[in-house]
Structure 1
Amino acid sequence: MVRSLRISHQESRHVTTTTAHRATAVAARAMELSKVYGHGETQVVALDRVTVDFPQGEFTAIMGPSGSGKSTLMHCVAGLERVIDMVGLSGRLHHRPAQLSGGQQQRVAVARALASQPEIIFGDEPTGNLDSRSGAEVLGFLRNSVQALGQTVVMVTHDPVAASYADRVVFLADGRIVDEMLAPTADGVLDRMKAFDAKGRTS
C-alpha cells in the first residue's frame, strides 16, 4: 500500500508512505520538500528542497541547531503537521490523568499509540520534559519496539544521548540536510554538533 500527499501554498512537498517489501521498504519519504513562512523581508525558509528517506523498521533521529528546520521536517513528513508523543509504559493505562505524573502521562500516550500498530511513529523531543531515568526508559522502549517489533521511529531531539539510541542521525542546518551518522554514539553526535555550532559562529 502506498499513500502520497502533495500540498502547496507556501509549501511544496511529496511525502510517500509504504508497507511493501519490508527488507527494502521506505516508511516515509520527503522529495524536494520546501516550507516557507512569511513574505518579502520577513520570509523564512524553514526547509529548502529536502529529500530524505526513513526506512521501515529503523530508528532515525533528526538533529540540528535551533531554527534548522528539524521539527518542521518531522511535522511535514508526519502529515498535516501532527505529532504523536512517544514514550512507553504498560502498567497504568486505566489510571486517571490526575493520578499520573507528566512523564507517566507521556509514557501511557506512547503505549496506546503502539497498541494501534501504526506504520510509523513520530516524536518531537519525546524525552524533553522527563528526568534522565524516565527518559532512558522511554528511549529504551522505543529502541526495543524497533528491534523486537520492527517498528519505524522518527524522533527530533537536541540531546546527543537520546540520539545515540537511534540507528541513524540526520543533521539539518538552515533548512537543509548537511550530514548523516550511522550507528551514532553520544560523544560522536556531540562532536558533530559542536562542529556545526563553530561553523555557524564563523560564517
Structure 2
Amino acid sequence: MSKTSRRVVTGVLVIVALVVSAGGALGYLGRLTLVFDRHPGKALAILAEVPGPPDGPPCPIDARYFDEKPEGLAPDVSRAWQALRAKAAEQGVQLCLNDGKRSRQQQQKEFDEAVQKFGTEELASRYVLNPPDRSMHVLGIAVDIQPIESAKWVEKNGSTLGWCRRYENEQWHFEYNTRYPTSGCPALEPSATGS
C-alpha cells in the first residue's frame, strides 16, 4: 500500500471516529434524535423507565380525580388523545386523564399499593398488572379516563378514533390502536390478567 493510500484510509478512519464520537456525545446530551427515537434523548431500551406525571390538577368536573397532562405517551397516542378530547368537547363532554403513562417503577408502586388495598397479589393483579412490563401504561398506549360518565362516552364513541375499553372490571381503562377504527374493538377481557 502506498503512502497516499495509507493517508486516505487513515483520514477516512479519523473522520468516521469523529462522526461516531460526535453523534454519541450529542445523543448523550439529548441533542441528537434519531428517526426511530420516540423520546428525544432517551434510548429505546429504557422507554419503560420514562415516567408519566405522578398527578395533575383536579378534574374540573369531579375533583376526586386528576386531569394530568399526557406526557410520556407515545407521540401517536398523545395526538390520538388530543383528537379524542376535542371530539368529546364538541359534544359537550369533558374527559379527564386520571392516569396515563407510567414508568416501570410507577407501575410497581401502583401494584404494591393495590396489594395493600386488596390484601393479596392475586386480587391486586386484577387491577394493576405485574410484572410492570406487561402494562400498556408502561408502554405508553393506555389511559384511564374519569369520571365514569366520560369514560362511558369514550366506550361508545372512541373506537372511531382508535380508543377501546379493554377490561370488564375497569370502565375507565382505554388503549389506543390504529387498527381499532377499521377492525372495531376486541372483546372485553374479564380483567387485566385475563381472568
More helix by share: 2
Is the structural similarity TM-score above 0.5? no
The structure whose RCO (Cα within 8 Å, separation 6+) is larger is 1
- Shorter-normalised TM-score: what interval? under 0.3
Instruction: Calculate the TM-score normalised by the size of structure 2.
Output: 0.28
Rg (Cα) greater in structure? 2
Counting strand residues as a fraction of each chain, which structure ranks higher? 1
